[in-house]
Amino acid sequence: MQFFGFRVLLKRLKAIRFMMADKAVPWYKKALVVAGIVYLFLPIDIIPPVIFPFGFLDDIVLWALILWYLSSELDKYWIGEKPKDYSRKFRGKNVVDDVEYDVDEEDKDA
């Protein structure tokens, strides 16, 4: 999958919201996104924003690395490969899988 396409970057940025809402995603991947957001709004940067064209370069490089690291996970949310995981919803409940059954209709007049 290509990485540097503008549409791909936008779709991956939009997919972050859905990835953060999914309970099946490991906590460290969510923490990486939160750390990137915190760094984006911190007043302390590696390159100060006063140096205009280069001031935002560290933020852009940081988010490019985050998107590159999470690319396989984010692609699941905008390509449509991510199946819905019900394992946490039914945790601790008695669920019977792989059972075949027939419904017999009884006479309604009786």
Q: What is the pTM of this model?
A: 0.60
Tell me the per-residue pLDDT of 19-68, one tens digit each, with 9 for 90 and over: 888 888 889 999 999 998 888 887 777 777 777 777 778 888 888 888 88
Cα dihedral across residues 3, 7, 10, 16: positive or negative: negative
Spatial contact of 33 and 70, defined as CB atoms under 8 Å apart: yes
Per-residue pLDDT band at 81 (split at 50, 70, 90)? low
